[in-house]
Structure 1
Amino acid sequence: MSRTLTDEAISSGSEDLLFKNSDLNKRLKNSPYATDVILMQRAHSSSCSINKIIRSNSLQSGFMSDIDQFVASIENKMKRIESSFSTGNSSSEENANSLATLQNLYDTLVHIKNSAFGKSVNLERFNKVIDERYGDLLSSIDNSEDLTFHEKLLTSLRFLDSKINQFNTFIEDEATSLLPCSVSDYQSTEISAYDAIRKFELKFHNYEHASKEGSKRLLHFHELPFPWRENEYISGGYRFTNNHYHCLHSLYQCHNETVNIWTHLGGGLIMLYICFVDFPNSDLFAKSTRTDIAMIYMFLIASITCLGSSSIWHTFNGTANLFMRKKFACIDYTGITILISTSVVTTEYASLYYSSPLLRIGFVSFSLLCAISGFFFNWSSYFDNPKSKPFRIGFYILLSVLGMAAYCHLGWEKGFWHATVYYSPLLKSHVWYLIGVFFYGSLIPEIFRCDVEVLPTPVEEELVSNETLSNLHKHFSKTPHYTEHKNKWWSLWWVDYIGSSHNIWHVFVLLGVLGHYLAIYEMFENIPLNK
């Protein structure tokens, strides 16, 4: 990497070279890890204790040697960051372009080092350098006007060190998205360092615009950065905010997640009513054992958890914090896994009621073990990948099929006709779920909308392709590409807010949950038939 201190870097004035001429740098500056003000205040706090020790020492003595070692440690950190992006076949010119962020960091470091360690130490000039580059941030410190030169120097260098650590952490957190494999395998891949950086920049392209406009209004699909795009057939009504309170407040606003939130939030309230009013006053509750009641309550609590988790995800998926957005999605996946697992366990418990206790415990334990394994899977980055949608559907269907084992065992003991009749109450519940899955996977009806032109969203592997780059202006248009059918009812423009495939999916999930409660209620009443 080129390490020439350019005239532009020296004369940049008050412009912070840590964040210069790079969308990536702007994102780092606004990243969720820490604000510059907090970093500067922490750097000052750390420097104060050191300054007490060196205050009585001469600037030319051991203090300067310690500072020199500190600067050297910063240089080593930058070299390690640089090496993680280096490839054996990349030209020095390409590296200089692709690692512009490190160049700017290094230029700032060299300028400070040269100013402090030149043959003639000009304290007035160095003070000016610090004030120009970090004056605004230093002013955020209490009693900043009383800062000594030593405190300014230590604070500025520690701030620079913190920014490099922040940059390194930010890149490491995105490593799986930037690179197709681990760093150790990176040398054997065809993707260049330039493509990796370019891919990262395209991934967060338009982030600043979306953040600014999202604080004032709802966005349309082509204003969102690529990682926030999921269904290109839903054109408008998107939230994009850094404030989680604003997401929570949107519960009472109209946007493209309002129906998704309230179908399951309302469903959760229905299940709470069943949990505390309907079931405790039922005939089944009066004649059931404590274990029987506990099994039914396990399902009721799981259904409330699932519906609540879904509402949480749809409430907070408008966050501009990608890391937190993925975590909210994992909460939703976990809720679904809990619901399916408890649905299977309750039917196993009922159908194997008069079988060997060891056998019943074995079936239930295996299902719970699969559920626990599924929890870890739910929180993996692969599971949350948009292209893994068919895989997610398959995983949940496979998890639900576990219940067939208990059906087969009951059929082997009592005959398959008896088992089929006993399990028949579940049929309605399964039909509701399958219809919902059909809409969820097919994107009907929004796939038939004709009021806007739909441009397929490129997957991550295609971000640096020539086709994506040539159509970038289309992917990030200021307004949707409307057709002549705009505002006509039959063009399905309204699916942005109501009637989309996901809205329908939510309704059928609620019907499936209610259907399963009625089914296990009947199955528990019919347990004596399995004697």
Structure 2
Amino acid sequence: MDSAVMFEETCSFNGEANEKQRSTSRKRREKKVEGKDAKCELVGFDSLPEYLKDNEFILNHYRSEWPMKETVLSIFSMHNETLNIWTHLIGFFIFLALTISAIFMLSNENFLGSPNFATLHFGYNIGYTITLPLTNLYNIAQVANVSSTTTMGPQLGRSPITRWPFFAFLLGAMVCLLTSSLCHLLMCHSEKCAYKMLRLDYTGIATLIVTSFYPVVYYPFMCDPLICTLYISFITVFGLATVLVSLVPAFQAVEFRPFRALLFVCMAVSGLVPITHKVIAMGHRPEAIITARYESLMGLFYGLGVVIYVARVPERWMPGKFDVVGHSHQLFHVLVIAGAHTHYLAGLEYLKWRDTEGCYA
């Protein structure tokens, strides 16, 4: 009798314990799911940790310390970084397509003297609307001046000039655009991730600026190896120094925002030296003037982008109204792509010039 009672009490106790354990596990799972859902909600600026606070005029739609899987998948959802991610990701694919197209078309020895050059030159809509007024008169003059006995570069016995400065620039543009997209996508995951992504972003920007110099310097001064080498060495060292400075943790502080912009601007503005040198030394050449016009337009795009980035307009004028669409960083991204595309068109002009004449004119 006693044994039966003890058995019944023991089973009852174990049953209650198991039920209590199951209830506790269920509550933990529910709490975990609720915590995960809460963690993946969009929050306001005041709810952000300090390392994610960058622009106080963008008030809402922030991702904050999301799990990595949800952070990556947020590329397909709307928040205040969506267009920052996609503007440069689309730009990356545009430059990838331009690079592949250039590889195949420039491998044709007669390409620069064929109608395909115009197709590559003006095939992109933005390029057409921007560049046609700058090059139309020159193209007409070229056609008028070419006699029936004149042929393009390789047929005169000269091999096409080296392409590496042109393709180095295209590679630099793709690196910059891709690292920028990754930075905007992943930096909300954690403070450690944000630190790494921002350094990657700065490295990409420096890479674009440095490689943008290579066609500007190499092709005008290819006939003067000393000057060419000095210019290329200077900008390469300057770029490496900028990357090293950007690795310093204090460099990311909000109060250093103007300094960050100024550092990259100084590196970019130093490009005025070889461009001015080219115009002074070769101003009698139509090609020098045309490429200088492209480079001026490129500088206008980049300069306007930096001004908008530093001033944080238009969101400064109406905080909260441009959180998702139209804020300064998105406009900055679009202007960077426009500037890089303009530089690409200038690179094609350089190739046409030097493939046609080499160092003999």
* TM score, norm. by length of structure 1: 0.49
Match of 1:232 in 2: 56
1:323-377 CA-partner distances (Å, limit 9, x unpaired): 221110111111000000111122000110222x232122211211111112211
Q: Mapping of 1:383-462 within 5 angstroms?
A: 383-415=251-283, 419-449=288-318
Q: Do structure 1's residue 330 and structure 2's residue 157 form an aligned pair?
A: no
Task: Give a deviation string over 1:83-107, Cα, whole Å, max 9, x none.
Answer: xxxxxxxxxxxxxxxxxxxxxxxxx
In structure 1, what residue type is equivalent to 2:343?
A: H
Secondary structure at the aligned position of 1:351 is classed as coil
- For 1:361, the equivalent position in structure 2 comes to 229
Equivalents in 2 of 1:385, 1:416: separation in Å? Answer: 48
Match of 2:215 in 1: 346
Contact 2:309 2:328 in 1 (8 A): yes
**In structure 2, what residue type is equivalent to 1:433?**
Y
1:456-492 deviations in whole A, cap 9, x for unaligned? Answer: xxxxxxxxxxxxxxxxxxxxxxxxxxxxxxxxxxxx2
Q: State the AA in 1 paired with 2:195.
A: K
Per-residue deviation, 1:407:
2.6
Cα distance change on mapping 1:213 and 1:233 into 2, 3 Å: farther
Q: CA RMSD in A?
A: 2.5
Which residue identity does 1:305 align to in structure 2? V
In the alignment, what sits opposite 1:305?
175
Q: Pick from 328, 334, 338 the counterpart of residue 501 of structure 1.
A: 328
CA offset at residue 387 of structure 1?
A: 1.2
Query: 2: CA distance between counterparts of 1:381 and 1:412?
Result: 42
The answer as to whether partners of 1:214 and 1:240 remain within 8 angstroms in 2 is: no
Whole-angstrom CA distance in 2 between matches of 1:333 and 1:291: 32
Whether the 8 Å contact between 1:345 and 1:403 is mirrored in structure 2 is no
1:17 corresponding residue in structure 2: none
Structure 2 counterpart of 1:513: 340
Change (3 A) 1:292 1:383: farther
- Structure-2 separation of matches of 1:332 and 1:254: 22
1:218 aligned onto 2:42: yes
Q: Match for residue 89 of structure 2?
A: 265
Does the 8 Å CA contact 1:330/1:379 hold for their aligned counterparts?
yes
Q: Trace 1:33-432 onto structure 2 (pairs within 5 A).
A: 215-282=39-106, 283-284=111-112, 292-319=162-189, 321-355=190-224, 357-415=225-283, 419-432=288-301
Inter-partner Cα distance in structure 1 for 2:159 and 2:43: 54
State the AA in 2 paired with 1:515.
Answer: T
User: What residue is the counterpart of 1:140 in the other structure?
Assistant: none
- The residue type equivalent to 1:424 in the other structure is R
Q: CA deviation at 1:410?
A: 2.9
User: Quick check: which one's helix share is greater?
Assistant: 2
Tell me, what secondary structure is at the counterpart of 1:446? coil
The alignment's TM-score, normalised by the length of structure 2, stands at 0.70
Report the equivalent of 1:104: none
Distance in 2 between residues matched to 1:369 and 1:437, nearest whole Å: 23
| TM superposition shift of 1:273 | 0.4
- Over 3 Å counting, the alpha-carbon distance change for 1:310 and 1:222 in structure 2 is same
Higher relative contact order by CA 8 Å / sep ≥ 6: 1 or 2?
2
Calculate percent identity across the aligned residue pairs. 27
**Partners in 2 of 1:222 and 1:289 — Cα distance?**
62
Contact 1:429 1:511 in 2 (8 A): yes
Q: Which runs of 5+ in 2 are unaligned?
A: 1-34, 118-152
State the alpha-carbon separation in 2 of the partners of residues 393 and 445 from structure 1: 18
Secondary structure of 1:235's counterpart equals: coil
Say which one has the larger Rg.
Answer: 1
8 Å CA contact 1:408, 1:416 repeated in 2: no
> Helix, strand or coil for the counterpart of 2:268?
helix
For 2:221 and 2:66, locate their aligned partners in 1 and report how far apart those are by CA, in whole Å: 50
Partner of 1:382, secondary structure, is: helix
Paired residue secondary structure (1:448): coil
Alignment-derived partner of residue 149 in structure 2: none
Note closer, same or farther for the CA distance 1:410–1:238 as it changes in structure 2 (3 Å cut): same
TM-aligned CA deviation for residue 297 of structure 1: 1.0
Q: Tell me by how many angstroms 1:422 deviates.
A: 4.3
Distance 2:65 2:166 in 1: 40
User: CA offset at residue 421 of structure 1?
Assistant: 4.7
Note the alpha carbon deviations across 1:47-76, whole angstroms, 9 max, x for none.
xxxxxxxxxxxxxxxxxxxxxxxxxxxxxx
Q: Which ranges in structure 1 are unaligned for 5 or more consecutive residues?
A: 1-210, 452-491
> 1:253: Cα distance to partner?
1.2
Distance 1:410 1:325, change over 3 A: same
